[in-house]
Copies of this chain bind each other. A is one copy, B any other.
Amino acid sequence: MALAFGLFIAPFANSANAQEKKPMIRIARIVVDSVRLTEYRAALKEGIETAVRLEPGVLTLYAVYDRERPTHITVFEIYADEAAYKLHIQTPHFLKYKETVKDMVKSLELVDAVPIGLESKH
């Protein structure tokens, strides 16, 4: 991968695609089997905690459920760039999450998003 090769001399130095250096924002909308909600939430929580702790390019993973429809999950995701996202989906913790929840997820919609403003106290 370009990122791995780029790190050989200097981070991002020879990336061919300028787009890969931009933050990547995604909104995941997930509907979960209602009888497996507790298990699903535990798997998701573990997955996002591990990703933000271990992966330098995983900047933010905010996972919530709708109060009125607890089976409806939203994850607001910010990666340092597209390469960081591509690394993320190959990590053991992500693959473990996907395997754990594969029979719990009824639908999954991934929306690529563009920032208007990302304002936070943190």
Interfacial residues, chain A to chain B (CB-CB below 8 A) = 25, 27, 41, 44-45, 48-49, 51-53, 58-68, 70, 73-74, 76, 111-122
| Contact (A49, B117) CB under 8 Å given A27-B74, A62-B76, A76-B76 | yes
- Find chain B residues with CB under 8 A from A52 CB: 119-121
Q: Known pairs A44-B116, A62-B117; list 13 more (Cβ under 8 Å).
A: A48-B116, A48-B119, A49-B119, A52-B120, A59-B120, A60-B119, A60-B121, A61-B117, A63-B116, A64-B113, A66-B111, A67-B112, A120-B120
Assess the A63–B115 pair: CB atoms within 8 A.
yes
Nearest B-chain residue to A51, judged by Cβ: B119
CA distance A69 to B65 in the complex (A): 23
Name the distance in Å between A81's Cβ and chain B's nearest Cβ.
14
